[in-house]
Amino acid sequence: MNKKMMTGLAFSRKLMLTAALGSSILLTSCGDNDGSPRIKDSEEKTIYEATKGTVTEVEEIEPGDDYKIIDERIIDKKENSIAIVHGLDGQIDTLSLAKIDNNSNETRYRNRSGLRTILYYSLASSYFNRNLSNVTPNSSYYKNSTAYNKSTDLKNDLKSSATSRKIRVAGASSKGYGSGRSFRSFGG
């Protein structure tokens, strides 16, 4: 063999050895060697999902899009959750929360965002929201304190019958822009 060929073979062997060494260092730094990404700073959180449903009664306060919750009840099946709407004109409509969730065009309330907002801040939000911890009745959407207090008490009943599961979420140092450090800009 000539000298150029031997130098080329030696160089290619060195290159292959360097690549193999780099790959082994990279693989050993991955931890469990399963190739899945890792969250460096994470915490375990319990998610409660409602198994029971709700009947939320609302009444129209003023013509248009102004409603208040007058009563809420818990029912056995989440998929049977409904809203009962008492209109100013005396008409009473029963709306399936499944149809509201799917933006159904079958109701006369399809363009009324106020009704949807009210439901999102009542026990009915347990139908729309996977995490029961995020279900918090808002007192300003209830007609009186009696209706509001009843709903906050019923939230505990919903939680006691809920299923729970644990998930991993980003930890405190992973949340938000610039967490743990100041990223303020100076100048214009």
Q: Strand locations in the chain, DSSP E? A: 42-49, 53-62, 66-75, 82-86, 92-96, 163-170
Q: Flag whether 64 is in a domain.
A: yes
Q: What is the pLDDT of residues 91-130, one digit of tens each?
A: 998 988 887 777 655 555 555 677 888 888 898 888 887 6
Domain count, the chain: 1
Q: Flag whether 5 is in a domain.
A: no
Q: What is the pLDDT of residues 32-48, one digit of tens each?
A: 555 555 556 778 888 88
Q: Flag whether 163 is in a domain.
A: yes
Q: What's the rounded mean pLDDT across residues 51-77? A: 91
> Global pTM?
0.63
Range of the domain at 85: 48-167
In angstroms, the CA 129 to CA 111 distance is 21
| pLDDT bucket at 161, cuts 50 / 70 / 90 | confident
| pLDDT bucket at 24, cuts 50 / 70 / 90 | low
Q: Are 49 and 65 in contact (CB under 8 A)?
A: no
Q: Flag whether 29 is in a domain.
A: no
